[in-house]
């Protein structure tokens, strides 16, 4: 190789490296603008990066994301498609952006098909399952919502949104226990967010379902049969939970605070579910949620747990947590080990 050829190669290599550094710097500026909510300015910066390298997967993915946040869904799809066809970096992320854009354009079924295609390519990635579940929820297909939410949780048990979606899909079908367990798990994972406030309100509604007061007879409480039917795996437990909720009004509980009753009743519910679990029952709920909460109910951490999951909506819980750091830390340590 002569000196001239070597010099040309070195110059080209240096030029490519310099261009890549410049692209990365521009993209980083764009990300900062995007994170601050300035999507239009971020898009302008990403366009400059694409002028340097029109085939940069990074720049195409980031500009697609900013177009999505800027509600320009067709542009988001256009740039996502470029990355998907290139089939190098950021392909999974581009599937998620394109699928979400299709959904926002009202093409929810087409979005589901894209995510299903992504599942085959990316080995059941949990966010693909979650997005399919979310789209089925929008279509009010709660059976498929449940199916894909469960798959998402199996792939990533700490994905709080999947637990919440699973709970809501069951709540809309009147399945008391199957909505109660995942919403408890959601609140344990995400106890202090805005979503947690609504989730805790829903938790109270779940507990109160099947239990009504007779207005003509103030001392009479009616308990109806489970909406999910007597053949459901949790039908017996569901009736017991309704009795527990109704027991809040009996004489011996009149002096107890709402927080005390919540701790007592939640402990009882978890124990009933654990003790009524049949070995032949291999459902996801029985195998994943029930053993965890049953074991929790047998510890001395229930007070910490109940205050922890109600902190978003209960000031007394906030005070308790602030004054009981040791108990809180012991509970958190137990969760991390189980």
Tell me how crowded residue 130 is: count the other CB atoms within 10 A of its CB: 23
pLDDT (mean) for 319-335:
96
Residue 116 belongs to domain spanning: 1-123
Instruction: Please identify, among 92, 123, 154, the residue that sits at the C-terminal boundary of a domain.
Output: 123
105 vs 10, higher pLDDT: 105
Total count of domains within the chain: 2
Instruction: Give the model's pLDDT for residue 214.
Output: 52
Pair 168, 247 in one domain = yes
- Give the residue-averaged pLDDT of 319-334: 96
Task: Read off the pLDDT band of 1 (50, 70, 90).
Answer: very low
Q: Which residues pair with 211 in a beta bridge?
A: 223
Give the least confident one: 13-17, 63-67, 182-186, 248-252.
Answer: 13-17
pLDDT of residue 238: 80
The percent of residues above 90 in pLDDT, for the chain, comes to 67
CB distance 182 to 167 below 8 Å: yes
87-102: average pLDDT: 96
The whole-model pTM stands at 0.86
Would you list the DSSP string of 9-37?
Answer: HHHHHHHHHHHHHHHHHHHHHHHHHHHTT
Mark whether 80 and 206 lie in a shared domain.
Answer: no
Residue 168 has pLDDT above 70, yes or no: yes
**What confidence score (pLDDT) does residue 236 get?**
78
Confidence of residue 301 (pLDDT cuts 50, 70, 90): very high
Q: In the structure, what pLDDT confidence band is assigned to residue 23 with cuts at 50, 70 and 90? A: confident
Res 7: pLDDT: 42
Q: Which residue has the higher pLDDT, 295 or 238?
A: 295
- As a whole number, the mean pLDDT across the chain is 86
Do the beta carbons of residue 259 and residue 307 sit within 8 Å? yes
If asked whether residues 263 and 216 sit together in one domain, one would say yes
Residue 333 pLDDT > 50, yes or no?
yes
Same domain? 155 vs 270: yes
Confidence tier at 256 by pLDDT (50, 70, 90): confident
Most confident of 150-154, 170-174, 200-204: 150-154
- Nearest one of 168, 187, 188 to 178, comparing CA atoms: 168
From 90, 123, 156, give the residue that closes a domain: 123
Mean pLDDT, residues 144-160 taken together: 97
pLDDT over threshold 70, residue 237: yes
User: Are 283 and 317 in the same domain?
Assistant: yes
Going by C-alpha positions, the residue among 149, 184, 331 that lies closest to residue 265 is 184
Entry field: residues in the chain: 338
Same domain as 251, residue 211: yes
Cα separation, 41 vs 48, in Å, equals: 11
Give the mean pLDDT of 184-190. 97
Provide the 10 A C-beta neighbour count for residue 125: 19
Based on the domain organization, do 319 and 214 belong to the same domain?
A: yes
pLDDT at 223 over 90: no
């Amino acid at each position: 190789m002569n000196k001239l050829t070597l010099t040309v190669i070195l110059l080209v290599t240096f030029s490519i490296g310099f261009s890549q550094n410049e692209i990365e710097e521009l993209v980083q500026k764009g990300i900062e603008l995007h994170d601050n909510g300035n999507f239009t300015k971020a898009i302008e910066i990403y366009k400059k990066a694409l002028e340097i390298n029109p085939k940069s997967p990074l720049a195409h993915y980031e500009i697609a994301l900013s177009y999505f946040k800027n509600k320009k869904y067709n542009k988001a799809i256009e740039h996502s498609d470029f990355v998907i066809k290139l089939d190098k970096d950021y392909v999974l992320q581009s599937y998620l952006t394109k699928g979400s854009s299709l959904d926002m354009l009202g093409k929810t079924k087409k979005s589901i098909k894209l995510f299903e295609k992504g599942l085959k390519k990316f080995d059941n990635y949990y966010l693909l399952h979650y997005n399919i579940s979310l789209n089925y929820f929008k279509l009010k297909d709660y059976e498929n919502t449940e199916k894909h939410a469960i798959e998402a949780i199996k792939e990533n048990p700490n994905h709080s949104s999947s637990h919440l979606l699973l709970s809501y899909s069951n709540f809309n079908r009147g399945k008391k226990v199957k909505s109660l367990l995942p919403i408890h798990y959601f609140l344990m994972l995400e106890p202090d967010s805005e979503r947690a406030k609504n989730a805790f309100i829903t938790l109270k509604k779940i507990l109160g379902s099947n239990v009504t007061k007779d207005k003509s007879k103030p001392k009479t409480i009616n308990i109806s049969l489970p909406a999910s039917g007597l053949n459901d795996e949790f039908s017996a437990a569901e009736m017991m939970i309704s009795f527990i909720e109704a027991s809040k009004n009996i004489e011996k509980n009149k002096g107890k605070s709402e927080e005390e009753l919540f701790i007592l009743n939640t402990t009882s519910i978890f124990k009933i579910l654990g003790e009524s679990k049949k070995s032949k029952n291999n459902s996801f709920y029985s195998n994943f949620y029930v053993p965890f909460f049953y074991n929790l109910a047998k510890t001395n951490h229930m007070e910490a747990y109940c205050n922890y999951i109600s902190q978003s909506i209960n000031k007394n819980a906030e005070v308790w947590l602030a004054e009981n750091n040791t108990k809180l830390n012991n509970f958190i340590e137990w969760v991390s080990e189980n």
